[in-house]
Structure 1
Amino acid sequence: TGTFRRQRPADKGAPDKLCIMPAGHESNWVVNGAIRLAHLYISEAQFALGCVRLLDREPRELQLQEATFLDDPQQSVRFRQLITLDWAEPAERLLASSLAHEIVDHAVLSQVGLRQGLRLKGGLAPSLRRQLVEYIEAHLDQPITLGELALRCNLSEYHFARMFRTSFGLPPHQYLLARRLHRACQLLRLGELPLGQVALLCGFASASHFSNRFRQAFGATPGEYRMAIRG
């Protein structure tokens, strides 16, 4: 309470107030007394995935809208849960990751606007981008190659990879892996399928390959994730 931005001294902070700062944002603050802050940094890749998945828009068109001392009860509850978790414990680290994804999704849905003064060049046509999203989602359980996706757009692999990254905000292989892992998390949360079957349904060649990729992304095995999420 009593904290404010130098540019806006009339707007004072308070418990549960939120600030949103777009990439490249700069600001100066005056802090009066003791203060405890929780910062969540959103990577370009996570922002891009949210824009494509939740808004069906190209990430380069959009940015988080700046906000100072915003009231958002849902987000405040998530942040308060986040700061109580012990991130040194694998199970609680997984819960923290899940909460962070909920915070990011909420921000993308409620705090995103058009990037000002942007003139789009290159990239895939919106109709092609949607077709690719639908095709990938429908075939996550199958091998999907760069050549196969490029052929659907009548482009060379090199040109397609460049245009895909322009429109999706990340390379094809990273996008595909992210969607496979997202599907895996859904299956682990909602069902009792054996881990080997989950791996196959998400397009991983084997349970060990699935486990390695999952551990790299989440810092825990699929089995640990299932146990942590279900409490």
Structure 2
Amino acid sequence: MSPLKHLHVFQSLHSSPNARLQSGAELGDGLAAAVWSNHHDARDYAAPSHHTLSCYLAGGTGTFRRENPHRKGAPDKLCILPAGHQSAWVINGAIQLAHLYISQEQFALAAVHLLDREPRELELREGTFLDDAQQAQRFRQLSQLDWQEPAERLFSSSLAHDLISHALLSQVGRREGLRLNGGLAPNRRQQLRDFIQANLAQPLTLGQLAGLCALSEYHFARMFQLSFGLPPHRYVLAQRLRHAQHLLRHSTLALSEIALSCGFASASHFSNRFRQAFGGTPGHYRASVQSR
């Protein structure tokens, strides 16, 4: 069984006798991708815990949602399936499609960074058979890469993040009738972001961050997660790795210098964390982005 079996949309296709997995991999950062072929099938998705972006690579002109049988797919058509949605699909003829699976935590982190908004305020809008040439081109690039090869795995991760960012800017809206309870005030969120960014090279403690907000460690940790979608230690690690990517891309600093400037105790610790997040070493990442 594939390591992606915990993903509802993936598992629904995996259980079909007509669908075939052509390639699939976890890309790190709460992201996973798959390319499928399928024919003459019917699939239902019931409240998945993850978001799914999809693109038809071939076929689809006989594919439709049961509630709207007159609207059909086609090559380069995009679908956006948010966590918690319900959908039922009929596939007539043969199709090939690419999927990007996004954890709600990664969506939350991207919302904080790109939109400077609390993730709880936002929802990913469902979309069926959308036209977006830029997104379709990213999907085609992604589907052609070898996700198991370290350098291409890192390029895959970059494309996946580009796909998320584009979806956030074009398909996200504010939840209607939302009343937020708990969480940090906007000025406190900004203060914390600025402080963390300015001190990535330093050891940070929960008490230190809580003190900025005049809260106990317990209440701060709870309110931080409500506001940022991640616990403090995971958020700080994500910022360190993001800063490391920037330095690898735009500087000639040695890996040991980058490790220290991003708050890692050693180059080996930095390399291990980077590999866990992105599927390849910092050296592979630098080589892949410089060759593009």
TM-score normalised over the length of structure 2: 0.77
Matched, 1:198 2:258: yes
Post-superposition shift, 1:218?
Answer: 1.3
Counterparts of 2:113 and 2:144, CA distance in 1? 29
Matched, 1:172 2:232: yes
1:91 partner SS: helix
Higher RCO, 1 or 2 (CA under 8 Å, sep at least 6)? Answer: 1
Which residue of structure 1 lines up, in the alignment, with residue 197 of structure 2?
137
Moved more, 36-45 or 110-119: 110-119
Correspondence 1:67-106 to 2 at 5 A: 67-106=127-166
Counterparts of 2:177 and 2:196, CA distance in 1? 32
Match for 1:216: what amino acid?
Answer: Q
Tell me which protein shows more helix as a share of its residues: 1
Matched, 1:20 2:58: no
TM-score normalised over the length of structure 1: 0.97
Which residue of structure 1 lines up, in the alignment, with residue 94 of structure 2?
34
Post-superposition shift, 1:116?
Answer: 3.0
Moved more, 83-92 or 145-154: 83-92
Q: Which blocks of at least 5 consecutive residues in structure 1 are unaligned?
A: none
Post-superposition shift, 1:2?
Answer: 2.4
Which residue of structure 1 lines up, in the alignment, with residue 188 of structure 2?
128
Matched, 1:118 2:178: yes
Which residue of structure 2 lines up, in the alignment, with residue 47 of structure 1?
107
Which residue of structure 1 lines up, in the alignment, with residue 62 of structure 2?
2
Post-superposition shift, 1:11?
Answer: 1.7
Which residue of structure 2 lines up, in the alignment, with residue 107 of structure 1?
167
Counterparts of 1:51 and 1:75, CA distance in 2? 18
Equivalent pairs, count: 231
Match for 1:6: what amino acid?
Answer: R
Match for 1:57: what amino acid?
Answer: R
Among candidates 210, 214, 217, match of residue 270 of structure 2: 210
2:128 partner SS: strand
Overall identity of the aligned pairs, in %: 69
Tell me which protein shows more strand as a share of its residues: 2
Deviations 1:85-139 (A, max 9, x none): 1112121111111110111111111111112332211111111111111111122
Post-superposition shift, 1:229?
Answer: 2.0
Counterparts of 2:190 and 2:68, CA distance in 1? 42
Post-superposition shift, 1:201?
Answer: 1.4
Give the alignment's Cα RMSD to 1 decimal: 1.1
2:234 partner SS: helix
Q: Which blocks of at least 5 consecutive residues in structure 2 are unaligned?
A: 1-60
Counterparts of 1:42 and 1:108, CA distance in 2? 12
